[in-house]
Amino acid sequence: MFAWIVSPLAVLLVVPALVYLWTLIRPHRIRTEAEIDASPEKVWRVLTDFAAYPEWNPFIVSARGEARVGARLTNELSNDGKVMTFSPTVLAAAPGRELRWIGRFVMPGIVDGEHYFLIEDLGGGRSRLVQGETFTGALVPFAGKLLDVAGNFAAMNTALKARAEKTA
């Protein structure tokens, strides 16, 4: 009788752990980029002016907090007409170079998304913005379409480009 109870319990614990480990080896990655006719400092100012996001950002329609390592942000995402709120923790905030945060669904290891913005100086007052995310966690292989947000990243890149170039 004991084996009958332990076996299903083992499956419930071991299978998610193995799936999680698999996503560490083969995470779901998204990467987009845009070239912008504005300096890295200008791109950074637009990117980190969270209060202005409702004016221009089609994906992160609201953001509150500070671009400071360890700070918690409150972001509202618009995806397929639905708005979702999450509170990531800032992992990196290097002005003119990088903003990175990690958001988690429920608890660590279920669905973890490490989101990043890299700003590269192309010289001559031009920049390249690279926006991406790496998803890991036990539910990532089953999340399917929920993690297919590359189009939203591209739309945000385009809108950020327009705003930075307009005010450059």
pLDDT digits (tens, 9 = 90+) for 15-26: 666 666 666 667
pTM for this structure?
Answer: 0.85
* Residue 72 lies in domain: 2-166
pLDDT in tens, 33-81: 999 999 999 999 999 999 999 999 999 999 999 999 999 999 999 988 8
**CATH code for position 66:** 3.30.530.20
Say which DSSP state 19 is in: H
Separation of alpha carbons 43 and 133, rounded Å:
19
Q: Provide the number of structural domains found in the chain.
A: 1
pLDDT at 50: 98
Token pair listed for 93: 């905030």
Q: What does DSSP say about strands 126-136 and 111-123: parallel, antiparallel, or unpaired?
A: antiparallel
Q: Say which residues have a Cβ less than 8 Å from residue 80's Cβ, sequence separation at least 6.
A: none
pLDDT tens sequence across 149-165: 999 999 999 999 999 99
3-class DSSP assignment, residue 62: strand
